[in-house]
Amino acid sequence: MTSARGIGFDYRPSATLTTLVATVLILATAAPFFTSLPWYLRAALAAIVAAHGLRRLRAFRAPPVAAVSLSQAGLWTVTLRHGRSVPAELLHARIFAGAAFLHLGWRRGTAHLALLPDNVRADHLRLLRASIRSGRV
């Protein structure tokens, strides 16, 4: 019997999720124009929604994490964008429709990671989902 191996992968934001969020942002920005508010309030509300949405989308596209690894012992390590590796703790995990959503925390920060088939290798995602479902992490 072979022993379980650790999982390690570089993290980049999902293009599919980015496209979905951008589409929702466009629709939310257009929504105030279909109300009966005065034109100046509709324009102001649309500008506020667009500015906030773009700021959040930009933050999603530039995550603090560059790489993630899970050891055989269930210990998480994140490599930050500037290259420093730090031990992390899995604060929350959710499996939804073949994707894994992780909330990792470390001494001076946290990150929400969306792991979909377009940004993580299929075998790594499968092993990670199995580990989360079994409660080993």
Give the residue ranges of the chain where pLDDT is below 50: 1-2
- CA 45/CA 76 separation, integer angstroms: 42
Same structural domain, 99 and 68? yes
pLDDT at 4: 56
For the segment 18-56, what is each residue's pLDDT rounded down to a tens digit? 999 999 999 999 999 999 999 999 999 999 999 999 999
Domain range for 36 is 16-61
pLDDT at 135: 76
Phi, psi (degrees; rounded to nearest 5) at 78? -115, 140
pLDDT at 101: 93
Q: What angle is formed at CA 132 by the lines to CA 128 and CA 137, rounded to 5 degrees?
A: 95
Any domain includes 1? no
**What 3-state DSSP class applies to 90?**
strand
Same structural domain, 91 and 121? yes
pTM as predicted? 0.80
**What's the structural domain count of the chain?**
2
Hey, what amino acid is at 22?
A: A
Same structural domain, 52 and 72? no
Could you tell me the sign of the dihedral formed by the alpha carbons of 106, 13, 66, 127, in that order? positive
Any domain includes 104? yes
Same structural domain, 57 and 74? no
Beta pairing partners, 10? 67
